[in-house]
Amino acid sequence: MRDRRILCRLLSAVALAMPLLISVFMPDPVAAQDTQSDEQGSTPRERELRDQLKNILQELEDLQKAKESVKPEAERPAIIKEKAEEKAETAPPGAIPEYELADTSIISTRFVKRPEGITLQSTDRSGTDSRPTVSMKESLDSLPGVVLRQANGPRDFSVNIRGSGVKTNFAIRDVKVYEDGIQQTQSDGLSRLDLQDPWFYQSVEVTSGASSSLYDNYAIGGMVHFRTRRGSDINGVESFLTGGSYGYQKYGFAFGKQYSNLDIAMFGSQVAADGYIQHSDYNTQSVDFNTRFRVDDKQTIYFKFIANWLQTNVPNRLTISQFNADPRSQGTTTGSSNVPTAFLGQERKDRRDIAGALYERQINANTLFSLEADYDVKDIHQPFANITDQVQPNFKGYADLRHDGTMLSMPLKSYVGIFFNNMETTTSVFTNLGNFNATYGPLKQYYTGTIRNLGARFREELEFVPKWTLAAGMGFEQSILSVSATNYTNGVPSSYVNVNNTYYNYAPELSLTWKPADGYRHWARASTGYGIPTFSNLLTGLNGQPGANASVKPEQNLNLELGTDDKVTSTLSLHMVGFFEYFHNEIITQTPAANLSSYAINANWSEFYGVEAGYTWRPTEEWRLTGAYTHLYSSYISFTDQYIQNGVVTQVNQAGHQVPNVPSDILNLKEAYDHSTNGWGGWVETSYYNSYFLNNGNSVGIPSYWLWNLNVHKELTFTNNSWFRFAKFYLELDNVANKHYAASGAVISDGTPDAQKQLFYAGYGRAIYGGVTLGLF
């Protein structure tokens, strides 16, 4: 409409000024000799029309420039979430070097959604494209400050960010997980990497440090965001096949296509292996479906569906003597040195389904609204010493509003959001009869419960002087946890537990960012995080058996950091962050012994501080050298531990001891070469892990170790073949020296003597893998 009005004005002005236009653009030879005199001799009406025409042409030019600066971008956001763009030219000034993070809206490049003043890192596609990756660990090892440890499944890893997330023996806690903007952390704070197949992903982004003002409950250590490949990235059909040591085999497919207003991507994979450790064979299938549909220039809808089915046998962790004798042993049952874990039929039969959608609308040139909702259900059957059957349906919803404006002529980015989620649980715990078939015995515990979280958050980012941005945010959340449990003895009800707790949590954040030049970013940040107890925290006693433990409090932490990202030269990028974290009432989970459930206890005060450093150097187009180093020191400031020993509750002052399961020094170095024309490439990678303790008393721990991996790959491109577009071949040798090492350890209660503490899962020995990816059609 605005264009039409301007066009009408232009036509009217042209009609009125036609004589003048003729005299100006087709002058006679005499008049052309003295233009200045003609201008001075023109009538007032002619000068008025000339001015009108000049103004109209200028207005049309300004309007066209404005249109070009608001070009639609085929991109989708996350919930104050980040995304890595591959093209450096799309990165805003001061973007993080190398991976050029530049999260923009699907509607307009005006809406930059990466928060200022945070520690943000990203992997790229090369992390998985040149290797038959078994798990996400191989992709994330290159990021300083991020540590993954093996848990009780083939792709189940705990994620440690600055000491958070590794106090549990399985899954992920205290770190939020997203995929393409859809949250994958359930309302009780649990996430599992069983869902994640690395072959599906374009990149992984990590926000480090307490971030509950951005991501609410359980974002104590930060956030991990997985981003799948788009249909435009695939542009056809791909098929993947790989195999290797210890019976490993994987088959996968990807389909993707981008149409005018629609981008579709679908992935599927089947993975199976015998496992390195006895009684650890597994079989898992994953499906990931994504559609992005642009309704018009102002509206876009995104839909995602994920499904994972897992069946895996689970060995027990090993004592020190068992590990030294045979690191591949499946371990033994509680209280026995010769009955194997298989006697209990230990396994996991888990299913997880997530369906989510995100709607985004540009209200005006400066305001963007988004609405996200997903339904997430977990259904598990897990025979260990006890047999657990559990179903947990979970609904989550978010509404966000972003505005780019000014305050006193200073650029101001504003954000406000609200959220609600509700999770229900129905759980039955039975005695395992231990006849190799995981046969149900008497019922031990039955409980139902709900967790409801309702909250809001806001954020303001003010560029108060050029290149200096002050950001402030706040999150508030009310959490209601209700659970009703019946405990049984020999199948007869013996006790009842009812918990109805309401928790209120606040999470302020403040940061200052300075971007002196393109490729340079320096920041200081103070942020907070919080996490409430879970059902199992409140319903498992200090002996690892069903019982009341209702005194567990929410945990909180304060993160202080000073960081810099510098593109020192066109080929060298540096990343360095120093941080200090205080924890209050940190929830420590520790196991009395294998085959028993972990129980929870609060550590009053603890501290964590350290540095994260990394570099990327490209001396030539073919060579790429990367390094990542993390140093982390932790200790209890005030903590009275308690556990049951010989039937008596024992209390021990652990102040001054190191916090268990927190690695102190980790180094990862990788040298990669890819020829620019013939498709050949390869890399060598080495990782060092220092020793650390696994109990609060600091008497046992994981020994330090080095690992070496090698890879060679080749890509063929077919330009004149209608069936094959490319073929990528891989050959990889992991743990070249066949080092025996502990891939992870469990936090074990000091109520168990050190010699009987079942601590370790052994890491894979020397293994060779090979595979091929075919680009079809």
- Residue 490 Rama label (left phi>0; alpha psi -120 to 50; beta): left
- What number is the average pLDDT over the span 590-601? 78
Q: How far apart are the first and last CA of the chain?
A: 44
State percent of the chain over pLDDT 70. 85
Pick the more confident residue, 339 or 75.
Answer: 339
Residue 118's SS3 state is coil
Pick the more confident residue, 557 or 31.
Answer: 557
- Cα gap 519→567, rounded to integer Å: 5
Provide the pLDDT for residue 288.
97
pLDDT band (50, 70, 90) for residue 27: very low
Provide the pLDDT for residue 724.
93
Residue range(s) in the chain whose domain bears CATH number 2.40.170.20: 223-350+359-776
Provide the pLDDT for residue 592.
81
Token pair of 6 as six digits: 């301007």
The pTM of the full predicted model, rounded to 2 decimals, is: 0.85
- What number is the average pLDDT over the span 729-748? 94
- What are 636-675's pLDDT values in tens digits? 999 999 888 777 888 999 999 999 999 899 999 999 999 9
Give which of 356, 351, 397 is closest to 378, Cα–Cα.
351
Provide the pLDDT for residue 61.
60
- Cα gap 108→92, rounded to integer Å: 14
Provide the pLDDT for residue 98.
40
H helices of 69-195, where? 126-129, 137-140
- What number is the average pLDDT over the span 736-749? 92
pLDDT band (50, 70, 90) for residue 265: very high
State percent of the chain over pLDDT 90. 68
- What are 169-211's pLDDT values in tens digits? 788 999 999 999 999 999 999 999 999 999 999 999 999 999 9
- What are 357-415's pLDDT values in tens digits? 999 999 999 999 999 999 999 999 999 888 999 999 999 999 999 999 999 999 999 99
Provide the pLDDT for residue 298.
92
Provide the pLDDT for residue 41.
47
- What are 617-631's pLDDT values in tens digits? 999 999 999 999 999
Check pLDDT > 80 for residue 215: yes
- What number is the average pLDDT over the span 300-314? 96
Pick the more confident residue, 301 or 92.
Answer: 301
Q: Which of 66-70, 81-85, 131-135, 431-435 has the highest mean pLDDT?
A: 431-435
Provide the pLDDT for residue 19.
40
- Cα gap 653→636, rounded to integer Å: 10
- What are 429-456's pLDDT values in tens digits? 999 998 888 999 999 999 999 999 999 9
Check pLDDT > 50 for residue 301: yes
CB distance 653 to 642 below 8 Å? no
User: Looking at this protein, which amino acid is placed at residue 704?
Assistant: S
- What are 506-529's pLDDT values in tens digits? 999 999 999 999 999 999 999 999
Provide the pLDDT for residue 168.
78
Token pair of 365 as six digits: 């040139």
Q: Say which CATH architecture domain 223-350+359-776 belongs to.
A: Beta Barrel (2.40)
pLDDT band (50, 70, 90) for residue 547: confident
CB distance 172 to 165 below 8 Å? yes
- What number is the average pLDDT over the span 56-61? 62
Check pLDDT > 90 for residue 481: yes
Query: Please, what is the average pLDDT of the chain?
Result: 86
How far CA 233 is from CA of 19, 99, 705, in Å, comes to 57, 17, 38
Provide the pLDDT for residue 51.
65
In sign, the C-alpha dihedral spanning 376, 377, 383, 384 is: positive
Check pLDDT > 80 for residue 4: no
DSSP string covering 477-518: EEEEEEEEEEEEETTEEEEEEEEEEEEEEEEEEEEEEE--ST
- Cα gap 274→97, rounded to integer Å: 41
B/e letters for 615-642, b = 16+ CB within 10 Å, e = fewer, are: bbbbeeeeebbbbbbbbbebbbeebebe
When mean pLDDT is compared across 291-300, 326-335, 426-435, the lowest value belongs to 326-335
Provide the pLDDT for residue 720.
87
